[in-house]
Amino acid sequence: MKMVFLSMLLIFSTVACTTLEPVNVPADDLQQQIRAGTLVSAGDRVRLVTTDEVVHKFRVTEVNLEQDTVQGPKAEVPIGEIVALETREVSVGRTALLTGGVGIGVAMLIAIAIAPAVILSGG
């Protein structure tokens, strides 16, 4: 029983809920901060909106300053055309609710599973 609990704890400690968080700055500042490397870096999951209102969602492989682009596996977006940015962030609240809810569910299942044995033993 203890092993099951520890296994569940390990699994849920490595899982986190994420959400896309908008970066609320004017387009010019946004572009400058991307070029400066303060907003986007390789490995980030982003949602970019360009001046032509096209939405690009991908994992960043490189911010290429020579070509002035944010690049992904199948995407290359000119930094000068980016007008909105959302980055994927860990949502602590959602993760806590998920972990707590699953923990309560597991506790209830354990209680239901051992209740007949306790009742039958007279305890």
| CB atoms near residue 39 (< 10 Å) | 21
Q: At residue 91, does pLDDT exceed 50?
A: no
Global pTM reads: 0.60
- For 83-115, what is the HEC assignment? EEEEEEEECHHHHHHHHHHHHHHHHHHHHHHHH
| Interatomic CA distance for residues 103 and 106, integer angstroms | 5
For residue 98, the one-letter residue type is: L
For the ranges 4-13, 49-58, 81-90, 92-101, the one whose mean pLDDT is highest: 49-58
What domain range is 29 assigned to?
2-120
Tokens of 43: 């490995």
Tokens of 78: 């000119």
Number of independent structural domains in the chain? 1
